[in-house]
Amino acid sequence: MMPRSDGMRVPVRFYTSDGMIDDMLADNSLQQAANVACLPGIVSASLVMPDMHWGYGFPIGGVAAFDVDEGIISPGGVGYDINCGVRLMTAELDRGELEPKIRRLIESLYRSVPSGVGSKGGIKITQKQLRSILAEGALWSVAEGLGTEEDLEYIEEKGQMKGADPRRVSARAMERGKGQVGTLGSGNHFLEIGYVSEIFDPATAETFGLSKDRITVMIHCGSRGLGHQVCDDFISVMNAAARKYGVDLPDRQLCCAPIDSEEGQSYLEAMRCAVNYAFANRQAIAAGVRRAFEKIAGAVKLRTVYEVAHNIAKMETHDLEGKSRRLCVHRKGATRAFGPGSEDVPSAYRSVGQPVIIPGDMGRCSYVLAGTETAMKDTFGSTCHGAGRLMSRGKARKAATGRDIIAELNSRNIEVISTSRRTLAEEIPEAYKDVADVVNTCEKAGISRKVARLQPLGCIKG
């Protein structure tokens, strides 16, 4: 805990371990969390998850909730890649059945799902269709024959965030997004085939449909150029709004407006459009995954376990000191982790809590967690989102010099296709924290609990 001081309205509460504390102190993420604690209407504490690192205004791994009547909304608390998130699917196949075909499957996926810098050529859409995507999210994709209604039940917000208004999205954002539906993008985005390597909670795993050696698919990407542009557009708006409403900003990148202001509502409506774009995008990519599986493995059913968002702002009701409060919860590099009994958790999972998908780096494992009651009490139902970077891209490229990264991964029985050697170098496993440390810290704090570990078999990096 960092107690209140110097303009902080609430304390900072950060989650870390002895093994991660030096890295945590090495950058400015705690100071950023302290700056967030100064913003009007913030309640309880400015929170930081163990995968924290330095961000723009808000730290990555930051969670901050604001009273809807007195608080602010900030694009920096959501991030440029609005609704960057992860979908987890399972295939009705076990590891032994797929391993002989994994290389062909990865190659088929690489052809089915455009990836890489500037990836385009996914699905051709008109301007009118794009507006529908912004309003309807994954529902649009399903209506176009990309996946089934069953998928929607297992996506956060059921694949559509209500209250989106495409008129709030600029022409420039529309231009950036039009050619990118159904594409993975680049950087740390990926598509991974894996298997369940360990079960920690058999009963919850069974509820989620996870069994040992079951084949899994993870899709990690966001709202592409459209979301980036929405954030960019509203940073200008919010800079002016902060001055207009007299908000004292310790950091310019914390620019914001009162939630109930014209500017605040406009941002929310535009942000929701970008959220829906990402939902539609991942649903379209999942359809590409299903096509690739069908070509290589025959008529194998792929089921969506769950899909989470980790850059988002949502209106939620939480209990604070015995009172029910309506709050705007910002999660930037943090995942919702609602506990058992929550109405927002699919009915099939309600008894055990919401699935949380935590991807690791491309060489190590990922985790499936479940949300907890403690998370509801302590972190507005939130937990970590991934491993968090340890090394800058430049340092990672230097560390990768002279190495055959693909061969190294192959030697660990992991097939990789990447559109860029440079991206691959930047994404080497040691560039990231060990996700096991991050997840164990969250479990120790009670804000999520381990259900299963996933091991990679093959990966496409953008």
Partner 1 sequence: MNANYRENDKQPPWLEYMEHAADAGIRVTADSREELFVRAAEGMFTLVADARDIEPEELLTVSVEAPDIETLMVYWLSELNFYHQVHRWLFRKYKIVEMVDFRITAELNGIRVVPNTRNVFAEIKAVTYHGLSVRQEGDRWLAEIIFDL
Q: How many Cβ atoms from other residues are within 10 Å of residue 323's Cβ?
A: 7
Please identify, using beta-carbon distances, which residue of 95 and 176 lies nearer to partner 1: 176
Q: Is 220 a catalytic residue?
A: no
Closest C-alpha among 333, 326, 434, 346 to residue 383: 333
Q: How many Cβ atoms from other residues are within 10 Å of residue 136's Cβ?
A: 18
Taking CB under 8 A as the binding criterion, the range among 370-378, 385-393, 399-407, 408-416 that sits at the site for partner 1 is 385-393
Q: Which residue of 420, 429, 443, 446 would you call a contact of partner 1, by CB under 8 A?
A: 420
Q: Which residue of 235, 305, 445, 454 would you call a contact of partner 1, by CB under 8 A?
A: 235
Please identify, using beta-carbon distances, which residue of 117 and 348 lies nearer to partner 1: 117
Beta-carbon contacts of residue 365 (< 8 Å; ≥ 6 apart)? 197, 435, 436, 453, 454, 455, 456
Taking CB under 8 A as the binding criterion, the range among 11-19, 148-156, 202-210, 228-236 that sits at the site for partner 1 is 228-236
Taking CB under 8 A as the binding criterion, the range among 85-93, 183-191, 268-276, 441-449 that sits at the site for partner 1 is 183-191
* 4 interacts with partner 1 by CB under 8 A: no
Please identify, using beta-carbon distances, which residue of 351 and 392 lies nearer to partner 1: 392
* 373 interacts with partner 1 by CB under 8 A: no
Chain-centre distance of CA 107, in angstroms?
A: 25
* 252 interacts with partner 1 by CB under 8 A: yes
For the bound state, the minimum distance from the C-beta of residue 378 to partner 1, rounded and expressed in Å, comes to 26
Alpha helices in 74-137 (DSSP H): 95-98, 102-112, 127-136
Burial class (CB in 10 A: 0-12, 13-18, 19+), 213: middle
Query: Which DSSP symbol is given to 155?
Result: B
Contact between residue 351 and residue 340 where contact means Cβ atoms under 8 Å apart: yes
Taking CB under 8 A as the binding criterion, the range among 268-276, 348-356, 362-370, 386-394 that sits at the site for partner 1 is 386-394
Q: How far apart are CA 271 and CA 265, in angstroms?
A: 10
Q: Which residue of 127, 392, 410, 413 would you call a contact of partner 1, by CB under 8 A?
A: 392
* 422 interacts with partner 1 by CB under 8 A: yes
Contact between residue 108 and residue 296 where contact means Cβ atoms under 8 Å apart: yes
Taking CB under 8 A as the binding criterion, the range among 134-142, 211-219, 258-266, 391-399 that sits at the site for partner 1 is 391-399
Q: Which residue of 231, 241, 285, 459 would you call a contact of partner 1, by CB under 8 A?
A: 231
Q: How far apart are CA 308 and CA 259, in angstroms?
A: 24
Please identify, using beta-carbon distances, which residue of 81 and 151 lies nearer to partner 1: 81
Number of residues assigned to the chain: 462
Tokens 């950060």: give the residue: 14
* 253 interacts with partner 1 by CB under 8 A: yes
Binding residues among 316-355 for partner 1 as defined by CB under 8 A: none
In order of 197, 219, 288, 439, the CA distances from 215 in angstroms are 10, 14, 17, 22
* 393 interacts with partner 1 by CB under 8 A: yes
For the bound state, the minimum distance from the C-beta of residue 53 to partner 1, rounded and expressed in Å, comes to 5
Taking CB under 8 A as the binding criterion, the range among 10-18, 47-55, 97-105, 137-145 that sits at the site for partner 1 is 47-55
Q: Would you put residue 314 in left (φ > 0), alpha (ψ -120 to 50) or beta?
A: beta
Binding residues among 144-163 for partner 1 as defined by CB under 8 A: none
Binding residues among 18-37 for partner 1 as defined by CB under 8 A: 27
Closest C-alpha among 96, 106, 114, 89 to residue 414: 106
* 176 interacts with partner 1 by CB under 8 A: yes
Q: How many residues of this chain interact with partner 1, rule: CB under 8 A?
A: 37
Q: How far apart are CA 284 and CA 143, in angstroms?
A: 11
Binding residues among 114-143 for partner 1 as defined by CB under 8 A: 117-118, 120
**65 - beta bridge partners?**
329
The footprint of partner 1 (CB under 8 A) covers 27, 53-57, 60, 80-81, 117-118, 120, 172, 175-176, 185-187, 225, 228, 231-232, 235-236, 239, 252-253, 389-395, 420, 422-423
Residues involved in catalysis = 385
